[in-house]
Amino acid sequence: MDTLEANTHEMLGITENRDTIEKEIHCDNDLLIRDTESNQNEGIVVHTREKSVSWKNVPGCGILLLLCYVLLSNLVNVMVKDLTSIPPVSLLFYRSLIMLGVSMPWAVAVNKPPFPPDMDRKEQGLLVFRGVVGFANILASYYSLRY
Compute the mean pLDDT over every residue in the chain, rounded to the nearest whole number: 76
Which amino acid, residue 43? Answer: G
Rounded to whole angstroms, the Cα distance separating 95 from 89 reads 10
Element housing 108 (H / E): helix 88-109
Mean pLDDT of 44-56: 62
**Which of the two residues, 120 and 38, has the higher pLDDT score?**
120
Q: What is the pLDDT of residue 126?
A: 94
Q: What is the pLDDT of residue 52?
A: 62
Sheet order of strands, 20-27 included: 14-16, 20-27, 31-39, 45-51
- 71-104: per-residue pLDDT in tens? 999 998 898 889 889 898 999 999 899 989 998 9
> How many residues are recorded in the chain?
147
Rounded to whole angstroms, the Cα distance separating 126 from 121 reads 9
Mean pLDDT of 1-17: 51
